[in-house]
Amino acid sequence: MIPEGRRLHAVVETGPTPASEDELLLATARGDQEAFAALYDRLAPLVHGIVRRVVRDPAQSEEVSQEVFVEIWRTAVRFDPDRGTARSWALTMAHRRAIDRVRSEQSARDRTERVAHGQHARDFDEVSERVEVGIEHEQVRSALGSLTDLQRQAVELAYYQGYTYREVAELLDTPLGTIKTRMRDGLIRLRDALGVAT
C-alpha cells in the first residue's frame, strides 16, 4: 500500500515517463499536493545541501530548508519555465533564504555585542568605512542584477558558495560548456558594470 502523500511519486519514478521537475512544479502551482511531495523528494537533498553550505548550523539549516519548501508551495504560480528550470528556481530561492538567515543572525550578534560593550557612539572613520562598504555592496548587487538569470546563478554559486564549474553545471542542470561561457560573459559584464580596470 502506497502512503497517500507518496502515490504520485511512486507512479512518477516507476512509470515509463517520469514527470520532470518543471512539470511537477507547474502541477504544484495548480495545488497538486502529490506533485509537490514528488518535487520535494527530488529537490530536498539539493536544497538542504546549498542551505547547509551557507548556514552551517544543522538545526538552522533544517529550518531554512523547510522555509524554502513552504515558499515554493506558496509561490509556485510565479514559476516561468521559459526563464529557467524548476531546479535552478528552487536552488536560487534556497541560496537567498540561506543568505538572509546568515545576515539576520549576524545582525543579532552585532546588536548583542554592541549592547554588551556599551558602544553607542562610533568614530567618524568607522561610519565612513561602513558607508563606503555599503555603497560597494549596492554597486555589486546592481551589477549582478544586470546579468541574465543563468549568469547570475552561476556567478553566485561559484563565487559566493565556492562551487566548482562542474558542480555549478550539475546544480543548475546545464552543460558544463554553457556554464563556462555564461560565467565568462557574466564576469565581463560585472567588470564593465563596476568599472574595474583590466
62 Cβ partners below 8 Å, 6+ apart? 48
**Residue whose C-alpha is closest to residue 86's, from 128, 46, 33:** 46
pLDDT (tens digit per residue) in 30-66: 999 999 999 999 999 999 999 999 999 999 999 999 9
Q: Counting beta carbons within 10 angstroms of the beta carbon of residue 22, is it exposed (0 to 12), middle (13 to 18) or buried (19 or more)?
A: middle
Residue-level pLDDT at 110: 82
Size of the chain, expressed as the number of residues it contains: 198
73 Cβ partners below 8 Å, 6+ apart? 28, 36
Per-range mean pLDDT, top range of 36-40, 172-176, 191-195: 36-40
Percent of the chain with pLDDT over 70: 78
Average pLDDT over residues 166-195: 82
For 62, the grid coordinates are 533544517
Top-confidence residue, 188 or 120: 188
What's the CA gap between 92 and 70, in Å, rounded? 15
- What is the pTM assigned to this prediction? 0.52
Q: Report the Cα–Cα distance between both ends of the chain, in Å, rounded.
A: 64
Per-range mean pLDDT, top range of 4-13, 67-76, 150-159, 170-179: 67-76
Residue-level pLDDT at 187: 78
Residue-level pLDDT at 73: 96
Do 193 and 152 contact (CB within 8 A), yes or no? no
Q: What integer best gives the mean pLDDT of the chain?
A: 81
pLDDT band at 160 (very low <50, low <70, confident <90, very high): confident
User: For helices 7-14 and 33-55, what crossing angle results, to 10°?
Assistant: 90
Domains of the chain (ranges plus CATH)? 1-120 (1.10.1740.10), 125-198 (1.10.10.10)
Percent of the chain with pLDDT over 90: 43
pLDDT (tens digit per residue) in 72-127: 999 999 999 999 999 999 999 999 999 999 998 888 888 888 777 665 555 556 66
Q: Residue 102's Cα: distance from chain center in Å?
A: 13
Q: Residue 55's Cα: distance from chain center in Å?
A: 12
Do 51 and 92 contact (CB within 8 A), yes or no? no
Residue-level pLDDT at 16: 46
> Where are the alpha helices (H) located in 118-162, listed in sequence order?
124-145, 149-155
Task: Please report, as a single letter, which amino acid is at residue 148.
Answer: T
Check residue 173 and give left, alpha or beta (phi > 0: left; psi -120 to 50: alpha).
left
